[in-house]
Amino acid sequence: MPGKRPFGVSTRLYHGHRLNRDHLLAIGAHGFEAVEVFATRTHFDYHNPAAIADLQQWLAEAGLELHSVHAPINESLTGGRWGAPLTLASADADARTRALDEAVQALQMARRIPFEVLVAHLGTPRSQQPEPIDNSRDGARRSIEALRRIAEPLGVRVAVEVIPNELSRAASLVHFIEEVIDVTGVGICLDFGHAHMDGDVVDAVETVSEHVIATDLHDNRGRTDEHLVPFEGSIDWPAALTAVQKVGYDGTLMLEIAAHGPEKETLQKARAARQRMERLFAAW
């Protein structure tokens, strides 16, 4: 129904902090229905059953649904510094196993708190100057097939995310799903900001249309991954949302925004951007 689709906010907004009750209450108070938890242990310790129980309580108090969990991409984030990367596409068996074990641990959250989608990166983005060993298609295949087998009985779908590297461009992910992996039920997380850095957002929407099961909405100026609130960068949002409407995606629209200033101000801007998007949807 136009204008009534659910919107959420990723806890990436608070990524540099330990996730707490007040963060979720703030998201709920700004009118959002859902969250994605960004699984970095310094932000949210998904290994700790007590932390998961607390999260369940906070979600209930905030009136929020846990829509998705973002699989770990680094071991830590402290003081603005990333820890060692975790790449599911590594050709190094030990490195890939380490990343896969952390993703599986995050997936196990579904035993306590049901959620719909586990979002996973294949490899690392070009901006991190990865070695060829970091972005192996065969390594990615092995990881995603293993994750899907574990996710299915938990009622979770795996979504590989559009990110700026050769493995994870929109067309590359469609090929990966249709021709490379040997499991069904894997979809795509369409990251609008990443698609914008790699070319045309409307083309990306149309390319992944048959496979998109999750979204990450944020903006940038086409060069760096700024994670701005939509309408603050150079994405043509009316055109992008028209394409979303045309391909029939009516799932949760997840704002994966960073705090450029106080988080409360960012949430206020996010609420205004959501309202602007809803007006666009309603006009169609």
Average pLDDT over residues 17-38: 98
pLDDT band for 1, please (50, 70, 90 cuts).
Answer: very low
pLDDT in tens, 245-265: 999 999 999 999 999 999 999
Residues 45-66: what's their mean pLDDT? Answer: 98
Q: What is this structure's pTM?
A: 0.96
Q: Is the pLDDT of residue 32 over 60?
A: yes
127 has pLDDT over 90: no
Average pLDDT, the chain: 96
Q: What pLDDT does residue 130 have?
A: 80
Is the pLDDT at 131 greater than 90? The verdict is: no
- Express as a percent the part of the chain with pLDDT over 70: 99
Mean pLDDT of 143-169: 97
Q: What is the pLDDT of residue 137?
A: 96
In this prediction, residue 4 has a pLDDT band, given cuts at 50, 70 and 90, of confident
* Paired sense of beta strands 81-82 and 77-78, if any: antiparallel
Given a cut of 80, whether residue 92 has pLDDT beyond it is yes
The yes or no reply on domain 7-283 and CATH 3.20.20.150 is yes
Count Cβ neighbours within 10 Å for each residue of 55-79 and write b for 16 or more, e otherwise.
beebbeebebbbbbbbbbbbbebee
Q: Phi and psi for 151 in degrees, rounded to 5?
A: -70, -35
Query: How does pLDDT run across 197-206, given as a tens digit for each residue?
Result: 999 999 999 9
The arithmetic mean of pLDDT across residues 124-130, rounded, is 86
Cα separation values, 233 from 52, 103, 145, 267, Å:
35, 31, 36, 16
Question: What is the predicted pLDDT for the residue at 45?
Answer: 98
Mean pLDDT calculated for residue range 12-23: 97
- State the burial class of residue 84 (Cβ atoms within 10 Å of its Cβ: 0-12, 13-18, 19+): exposed
pLDDT at 3 over 60: no
The closest of 204, 211, 188, 281 to 242, measured between CA atoms, is: 281
- pLDDT computed for residue 2 by the predictor: 43
**Domain regions of the chain by residue span:** 7-283
Average pLDDT (179-196) is 96
Q: Which residues contact 97 (CB under 8 A, 6 or more apart)?
A: none
pLDDT value of position 205: 98
